[in-house]
Amino acid sequence: MSDSSIPVQRRRRKEARPHELTAAALTLFVEKGYAATRLDEVAARAGVSKGTLYLYFDSKEALFQAVIREGVVPAIEAGEAMFAEPGSDPRALLRAFLEAWWARIGSTELGGIPRLIMAEAANFPEVARYYNDAVIQRGLALLRGAVQRGIDQGVFRAVDTTVIDVLLISPLIHLAGWRSSLAPCCGSNIDPDAYVQAHIDMVLHGLAATPSGASS
């Protein structure tokens, strides 16, 4: 049977299934971890049979990679497109990168993925390597690039760019991990948006070639 002979409603349902499966998988991966998540649970959460799941994904690793490609990689690609724009202000660029990471990843269900990777990388090195190549290294390269551009333009002071990328993102990863682990059971008195803005403010002041208030 050709696709054209399938009723439109059924075709739309078929086309939606991969997204429904990745959405269900993301929720379970964050809730239970990679090792403890079973494919039959993902199928049940998505409202399909396990056989249907295997029509789209032949393994849990393939499903995890699809979650990352669908949810995280577009954010990295958007950052790469921003970085490629000529004449961008390094300060505005760095702020945009950090704010976008929080808005698109850290503050969402995807914010639980870094904690999952750190917890289970030793047992699932192939999964960790995929995430490192597809997300971590590309994201860190953007942060390093923005800082180096600022140094080259004289708006940032010279810093060690081999470590600055991790220092820039680690506080946001910590906030995302805390919100998906301790905060639900221990309460929260931290305003995430205020935290993010305070972090960015300290970053930009700390990198400034001429500290605020200093005489020229």
Residue pLDDT, tens place only, 148-191: 999 999 999 999 999 999 999 999 999 998 887 777 777 667 89
Q: Residue 7: pLDDT above 80?
A: no
Query: Which residues are bridge partners to 156 per DSSP?
Result: 208
What average pLDDT does range 17-38 have in this prediction?
95
**Better-scored residue on pLDDT, 23 or 180:** 23
- pLDDT score of 186: 76
d(CA 108, CA 43): 22
- pLDDT score of 214: 52
Handedness of CA 91, 93, 96, 101 (dihedral sign): negative
Q: Residue 211: pLDDT above 70?
A: no
Q: What are phi and psi of 208, to 5 degrees?
A: -55, 135
Q: Residue 14: pLDDT above 60?
A: no
Q: Residue 126: pLDDT above 50?
A: yes
Q: Is residue 159 a contact partner of residue 135, using CB atoms and an 8 Å limit?
A: no
- pLDDT score of 36: 97
Q: What's the whole-number average pLDDT of the chain?
A: 90
pLDDT grade, residue 216 (50/70/90)? very low
pLDDT grade, residue 16 (50/70/90)? low
What average pLDDT does range 45-71 have in this prediction?
95
- pLDDT score of 3: 52
Provide the percentage of residues in the chain whose pLDDT is more than 90: 81
pLDDT grade, residue 212 (50/70/90)? low
Take residue 20 and report the two structure tokens written for it: 């429904």
d(CA 113, CA 28): 11
- pLDDT score of 190: 85
- From residue 161, alpha-carbon distances to 6, 14, 110, 148, 155 in Å are 55, 47, 27, 7, 15
Q: Residue 117: pLDDT above 70?
A: yes
